[in-house]
Chains A and B, each alone.
Chain A
Amino acid sequence: MAITEENPGYKWVGTRPIRPDGLEKVTGKARFGADLVLPGMLYGKVVRSPHAHARIVSIDTSAAESMEGVKAVITGADFPDLAANGAHPSDIDVANNAIARDKVLYEGHVVAAVAAITREQAEAAAKAVAVTYEVLPHVLTVDEAMADNAPLLHEAMITKGVDPAPEEPSNIASKILHERGDLDQGFGEADAVVEREFSTKPVHQGYIEPHAAVADANSDGRAHIWCSSQGHFQMRAYTATVLGVSPGTLKVTAAEIGGGFGGKTVIYLEPLAVRLSQRAGRPVKLVMDRDEVFRATGPTSGTRIKVKMGVSKDGKITAAEVWMAYEAGAYAGSPVGAAGMTAIACYDIPNFVVEGYDVVCNKPRVAAYRAPGAPMAAFAVESVLDELARNIEMDPIDIRLANAAVEGTQASYGPKFPRIGFVETLEAIKEHPNYTAELGPNQGRGVAAGFWFNAGMMSSATVHVNENGTATVVTGSPDIGGSRQSMALMAAEELGIPYESIKPVVADTETVGFNDVTGGSRVTLATGAAVVDACRLIVEDLRGRAAKTWDVEVDQVEWVDGQAQHVDGAQPPLSLNDLAAKSGRTGGPISANASLNSRGVGAGFSTQLCDVEVDPETGVTRVVRYLTAQDAGRAISPDYVEGQMQGGVVQGIGWALNEEYIHDTEGVMENPSFLDYRMPVASDLPMIDCAIVEVPNPAHPYGVRGVGEVGIVPPMAAVGNAIHDAVDVRMTELPMSPIKVLEALNENDG
C-alpha cells in the first residue's frame, strides 16, 4: 500500500477484519432476491418481444387466462398511460421500458406477464399469450441510427442541446459540448498529432445474480416488495411512478445482492410483480433467466469515438478534439454526458472541443455500469496519448505527469479540482517493481489512466446503543461492495468500541431515513458520513450522561477509547457498557439519527500498468501481469478497496478482450449466455496487484473518496497499449478478440 499521509493512529479504520456478512454468505444462509418464498406465492413469467422493432397490433390473453393454474395475466394496458397524464418524459420512458404500450423497441422488451401456481404453468401460459406485431425496420448501431432517413424509434424525438432546435425528429436524443481555448492554435503548436477512430460494443455488467422480485399486494392498495437492487428507495420511487401510486403505499425490502455494478439501479420486474399480485390476490415472484438478463437489462453503450490530439516535443498536450456517439438503447439516456465530462479530465489541456451524441437504437435500454461512459472515452483518449508518447519518444508515465491535473487545475468539465491524487497514482506505478520487470518474447507493457467524479447524494443513518454497550448501525444503502464492513469500522472508531460489537444493518424503506442508490461509489463517503455524524451525536449524548452522573459540566468529560473520562481523572471512567446499562436513569435509550446531503465528493483517479503476451499466430492475448494504483482517499477497509480495484480491472479486461453483444441482422441477440458472452474466468487472469494511494478527501471525516468505479476506466486502453507494445498493432475496436488481433497482425504482415 502506498501511504502518502501519516495514518493518524486509527484503531479500526484501515484494518482487515472478517466481513460481517461473510458467514451467512459462505454457508448459503444469506437470502438473495430469488430466495424468498411466501405462503400462497405464485410464480410469474414475462412475455418478451421476439422483434427488435415492432408495433403491437393486438395482444390476446384469453388462451393464457384459461389455462390451468393461471391466476393473472397483465399487459401494458394494465398500467396508467403516463404520457396521457402528462408525466415527465423520463418517467414515461421508465414505464414503457418496464412494459411496452404500443411499440416494442428491442428484442426482449416486455409485452405481458403472467402469474400461475407453478413455474411450469407460468411458462406455458407465457407461451400462450398471442401477440400480433407489425414488424418495423430497425437500427442497431449509432451509425445506422444516425444515418439519413433512418427508421425512427420515437417519432417525436427532437435533439436536445442544439441551438436552434432541429425541426425534424431523429434518433439523436441530445448533443453535449465542452469547449476551451482555440483548437487551431493548439494543433498549430503541436510537434506531433495523432488522429484515430475507435468503436466499442455494448457490454453487460454481468452480475452473477439475475434480477428477482417478490411482491405481496394488499387489498387496501399497499404492497410490500422484496427485491435485489442497488437502492430500494429508488425502486420504490420508480415502481410507484409506473403504477401511478404514492411511494408511501409501497414498502421495499432490500434482499442480499449478488452484484449490480450499476445495472440494479433501475426497475424491471417490480411493477409487474405488484400488478400481478394485485390481480391475483396472492404474492407473486418473478425471477429472470440469464438470457433475459442479457436481452433486457443493462448493458452499457456501444460507441463510436474519434480523437485527435497534439503534443509539443516536451510532452505538453496542446489540443484535443473528441467526437463521440453513444448508443442509448431504446430510450434516451446513454452515459455520453459523463463521457464528455471525463474524457480528458485527467489532464490540464488549454485547447479542446469535446462533442457527444446520445443516440437511441433498437437494443435494450442501457443502464449504469461502473463509471458509466468513462471507460470507452478513456480507451480512445489513452490509446491516442500512448501513440503520441511513442511518437515523441517519451515515457508513458512521464507524458501523463507532464499534463496531470492537480489541485487548482480547472477541470475540463468546469470546476477547479480540490485536493486530488492523480500524480500520486502515476508515481506509485513508476515506483513499483512491475514497472521495470523484464518482458519475455511477444510480451508488451501498457499504461493508461482514468478519472471518475464519484457521487455524494443523500443518505441517512441511525445508530442504536444496545443495553450491553454494543451498537447497531442502520442504513438504507444496499451493501454491494462491502459497505457494511466500512460502516462498522467507522462506527467502531468513533464510538471507541470493538468492530465485533457493532452490527451493521441495511433496513427497509420504512425503517430508516431516505438513502439514494448505492451507486457512484458514494456509500462509504456519504452514508459513511451519516454514520459518523450519528455516532458523534451518540458520543455527545454519552458525555452529557456521564457529566450528569458525575454532576460536572459536560466540557469536563472526554470520550476516549469507548469510555467517558473526567479530564482530571477525578472520577473513575464510565464505559459505554456502564452508560448503556444505566440509560434508563440518564434519559432513556441511547440512539441517534443523521441525515445529510453529501458535503463534497472526492474525485477518483486510477493509473494502471498491464503486461500482456500475444500469440502472434492465433491472436490470443493473455494478461500476464497487472498493477492498478488508485487514490482511495482513505481505505477504511483495505480488503474491500482492493476488491473494488481488482474487480474493476477484471471487468475491464473482459471488456477489452472478449465481451460483446452480438446481434444478428434481425436485431436478435445471438449470445445471451455466459458460454458465448465471454466474461473472463479466474484462470484467464493473473493476480491483480494493487497499490492503494491515500490522498485524503478534505470533505469526509476520514478522507474517503469513492473507490468502486474508476478502476474500470483505464483497463481497455492499458491492454490495447500493451498489445501494441508486444506486437506493434494499434487496436481501435473492442473487444480486442483473437480474431481482430490476428486480422491486424495479418494486415501488418501483408
Chain B
Amino acid sequence: MKYVAPSSVEEAASLLSSSPSAQVFAGATDVVPQIRAGRPAPDVLVDLKKIKELVALNSDGDKWTVGAATPTAYLTEDDAFSHEFPGLAEAAGLIGSDQIQNRSSLGGNLCNASPAADSVPAMVVNGVRAVVAGPNGTRVLDVSEVVTGPGQTALDDDEFIVEFEIDKMPSRSGDAYLRMIPRTEMDIAVVGAGARVTLADDGSIEQAVLALGAVAPTVVRIPDAEQALVGSTADEETLNAVAAAASEACDPIDDKRGTVEYRKQVAGVLAKRAVVIAIERAEQRNGTN
C-alpha cells in the first residue's frame, strides 16, 4: 500500500485516474478501522488533507463552503457557522468523540455511505451541495444524490468531493438533528432525524424538510410529513401525523443494533421532536441575524 499526499485538486484527480485501485481519504476514521478489520487495502491511499481548499471553512455572505476534508471540529467550534446551522453543527458534533472530530470530515462521513452517518440527514435538510472533481473537471451534486446504497455512492472511481456549498440560512428558519443511541456517545445511530423549517410571517410553517438516517439503505425524506407541516402551526395533531409519516417512511432492518419495530416507532418520535426544535430556532432567527 502506497501513501500519497497531493497538494492540488488536479494532482489528486490525475493520481486517481492513473491508478486502478486508489482511494482517497480525509480523517481516515472509517478507512483505517476498515482496513484493520480485514477489508482489502487499496494500492494507493490518497490523502486529501494537503490540498488547501479541502481543509477550509468560509462564508461569502450568501453561502458557506466547507472543504470536504475539513475536520468536523472546525464546524462545531466556529461560532458563526454553528449559530447559523445549529442542527448541522450538532450532527457533526455527535460523530464519535473529540478525538474523532479532530479528524472526521463531512466528505468522509458522506462517502463512507453508512446508512447511519450522522451528518448526512442534517446536510440533506439544509440542501447542501457537493462539488465533485474528476478527470474532466467538476460537477455539482445534491448531497441527497451522492449515496446510492450502503457503501455505494454515485461518484466514479476517479472522482472525489472537493467541497460542500451551503446556502445562507434564510431568516425565520431553523434546523435540528437528533439521534437515538443506547449510550450517550461513541455509538452508532439506531435512528437519526433531521428537520429544517421556514416560518411565514404569521408563524405558520412555510417550508419543511425532514430526513431520517439509519432506517433505510440511504437517508430518506418524509414528503408526507413535510406536506402535513406546511401551512400548519405544528399543533399536536400535525406532529402526530409527522410521527406517523416518519414511521411509515422507514424501511429498516432488524439487527444487533435495533429492531424494525423499534426503529419505526422511534423515527416518529425523533422526527416530531426535531421539528419542534427547528421551529423554536426559526422563531429566534428573525432576519437580523
Interface size class of A (residues with CB under 8 A): 20 to 34
The answer to whether B262 touches A738, judged by C-beta atoms less than 8 angstroms apart, is yes
The answer to whether A684 touches B256, judged by C-beta atoms less than 8 angstroms apart, is no
- A681 and B259 in contact (CB under 8 A), knowing A618-B180, A618-B269, A738-B180? no
The answer to whether B184 touches A683, judged by C-beta atoms less than 8 angstroms apart, is yes
Interface residues in A599-645 by Cβ distance below 8 A to B read: 617-620, 622
A735 (CB) vs chain B CBs: closest residue: B182
Any chain B CB within 8 A of the CB of A586? no
Any chain B CB within 8 A of the CB of A742? yes
The answer to whether A683 touches B185, judged by C-beta atoms less than 8 angstroms apart, is yes
- CA separation between A491 and B257, bound complex, in Å? 51
Any chain B CB within 8 A of the CB of A678? yes
Interface mask (A637-658 → B, CB under 8 Å = 1, otherwise 0): 0000000000000000000011
Q: Which residue in B183, B187, B262 is a CB contact (below 8 Å) of A742?
A: B262
The answer to whether B258 touches A684, judged by C-beta atoms less than 8 angstroms apart, is no
- A676 and B183 in contact (CB under 8 A), knowing A617-B269, A739-B262? no
- CA separation between A717 and B257, bound complex, in Å? 24
The answer to whether B187 touches A678, judged by C-beta atoms less than 8 angstroms apart, is yes
Any chain A CB within 8 A of the CB of B9? no
Q: How far is the CB of A550 from chain B (nearest CB, A)?
A: 64
Interface mask (A367-382 → B, CB under 8 Å = 1, otherwise 0): 0000000000000000
CB-CB under 8 A from A738, the residues of chain B are 180, 182, 190, 262, 266
B188 (CB) vs chain A CBs: closest residue: A675
Interface size class of B (residues with CB under 8 A): 10 to 19
CB-CB under 8 A from B154, the residues of chain A are none
CB-CB under 8 A from B265, the residues of chain A are 742, 746
- A658 and B182 in contact (CB under 8 A), knowing A738-B262, A739-B262? yes
The answer to whether B185 touches A737, judged by C-beta atoms less than 8 angstroms apart, is no
Any chain B CB within 8 A of the CB of A237? no
Q: Which residue in B185, B190, B256, B266 is a CB contact (below 8 Å) of A681?
A: B185
- CA separation between A675 and B259, bound complex, in Å? 17
- Chain B residues touching A, majority SS: loop
Q: Which residue in B180, B257, B262, B269 is a CB contact (below 8 Å) of A676?
A: B257
24 contacts between A and B (CB under 8 A): A617-B266, A617-B269, A618-B269, A618-B270, A657-B182, A675-B186, A675-B188, A676-B257, A680-B183, A681-B183, A681-B185, A681-B186, A683-B183, A683-B185, A684-B183, A684-B184, A738-B180, A738-B190, A738-B266, A739-B258, A739-B262, A742-B262, A742-B266, A743-B262
CB-CB under 8 A from A678, the residues of chain B are 182-183, 187
Any chain B CB within 8 A of the CB of A68? no
The answer to whether A662 touches B258, judged by C-beta atoms less than 8 angstroms apart, is no
Q: How far is the CB of B258 from chain A (nearest CB, A)?
A: 7
- CA separation between A737 and B187, bound complex, in Å? 14
The answer to whether B257 touches A620, judged by C-beta atoms less than 8 angstroms apart, is no
- CA separation between A378 and B262, bound complex, in Å? 29
Interface mask (B155-183 → A, CB under 8 Å = 1, otherwise 0): 00000000000000000000000001011
Q: Which residue in A662, A670, A674, A737 is a CB contact (below 8 Å) of B182?
A: A737
CB-CB under 8 A from A676, the residues of chain B are 256-257
A739 (CB) vs chain B CBs: closest residue: B262
Any chain B CB within 8 A of the CB of A671? yes
Q: How far is the CB of B283 from chain A (nearest CB, A)?
A: 23
The answer to whether B182 touches A620, judged by C-beta atoms less than 8 angstroms apart, is yes
CB-CB under 8 A from A675, the residues of chain B are 186-188
A683 (CB) vs chain B CBs: closest residue: B184
Interface mask (B244-276 → A, CB under 8 Å = 1, otherwise 0): 000000000000111101100110011000000
Q: How far is the CB of B193 from chain A (nearest CB, A)?
A: 11
CB-CB under 8 A from A618, the residues of chain B are 180, 266, 269-270
- A620 and B256 in contact (CB under 8 A), knowing A678-B187, A681-B185, A739-B262? no
- CA separation between A619 and B265, bound complex, in Å? 11
CB-CB under 8 A from A739, the residues of chain B are 258-259, 262
Q: How far is the CB of A720 from chain B (nearest CB, A)?
A: 16
B243 (CB) vs chain A CBs: closest residue: A617
CB-CB under 8 A from B185, the residues of chain A are 681, 683
Q: How far is the CB of B267 from chain A (nearest CB, A)?
A: 11
Q: How far is the CB of B39 from chain A (nearest CB, A)?
A: 15
Interface residues in A665-711 by Cβ distance below 8 A to B read: 670-671, 674-676, 678, 680-681, 683-684
- CA separation between A619 and B269, bound complex, in Å? 11
The answer to whether A620 touches B180, judged by C-beta atoms less than 8 angstroms apart, is yes
The answer to whether A681 touches B184, judged by C-beta atoms less than 8 angstroms apart, is yes
Q: How far is the CB of B282 from chain A (nearest CB, A)?
A: 23
CB-CB under 8 A from B270, the residues of chain A are 618
Q: How far is the CB of A480 from chain B (nearest CB, A)?
A: 25
- CA separation between A743 and B259, bound complex, in Å? 11
- CA separation between A426 and B260, bound complex, in Å? 43
B270 (CB) vs chain A CBs: closest residue: A618
Give the 10 A-B residue pairs with the shortest CB-CB distance, closest first. Answer: A683-B184, A617-B269, A739-B262, A662-B256, A670-B256, A658-B182, A684-B184, A618-B266, A681-B186, A671-B256
CB-CB under 8 A from A743, the residues of chain B are 261-262
Q: How far is the CB of A651 from chain B (nearest CB, A)?
A: 15
B257 (CB) vs chain A CBs: closest residue: A676
Q: How far is the CB of B30 from chain A (nearest CB, A)?
A: 12
Give the residue among B180, B185, B186, B188 with the most A Cβ atoms within 10 A: B186
CB-CB under 8 A from A681, the residues of chain B are 183-186
Q: Other than the known A683-B183, A739-B258, A742-B265, what 11 A-B pairs have Cβ atoms closer than 8 Å?
A: A617-B269, A620-B182, A622-B184, A658-B183, A674-B186, A676-B256, A678-B183, A683-B184, A684-B184, A739-B259, A742-B262
B180 (CB) vs chain A CBs: closest residue: A618
Give the residue among A618, A671, A675, A742 with the most B Cβ atoms within 10 A: A618
Q: How far is the CB of A203 from chain B (nearest CB, A)?
A: 15
CB-CB under 8 A from A670, the residues of chain B are 256
A123 (CB) vs chain B CBs: closest residue: B38
Q: How far is the CB of A121 from chain B (nearest CB, A)?
A: 16
Interface residues in A706-746 by Cβ distance below 8 A to B read: 737-739, 742-743, 746
Interface mask (B176-219 → A, CB under 8 Å = 1, otherwise 0): 00001011111110100000000000000000000000000000
CB-CB under 8 A from B190, the residues of chain A are 738
- CA separation between A750 and B112, bound complex, in Å? 40
Q: How far is the CB of B99 from chain A (nearest CB, A)?
A: 13
Interface mask (B112-139 → A, CB under 8 Å = 1, otherwise 0): 0000000000000000000000000000
- CA separation between A675 and B266, bound complex, in Å? 21
Q: How far is the CB of B270 from chain A (nearest CB, A)?
A: 8
Interface residues in A341-384 by Cβ distance below 8 A to B read: none
CB-CB under 8 A from A684, the residues of chain B are 183-184
Q: How far is the CB of A255 from chain B (nearest CB, A)?
A: 24
Q: How far is the CB of A35 from chain B (nearest CB, A)?
A: 20
CB-CB under 8 A from B180, the residues of chain A are 618, 620, 738
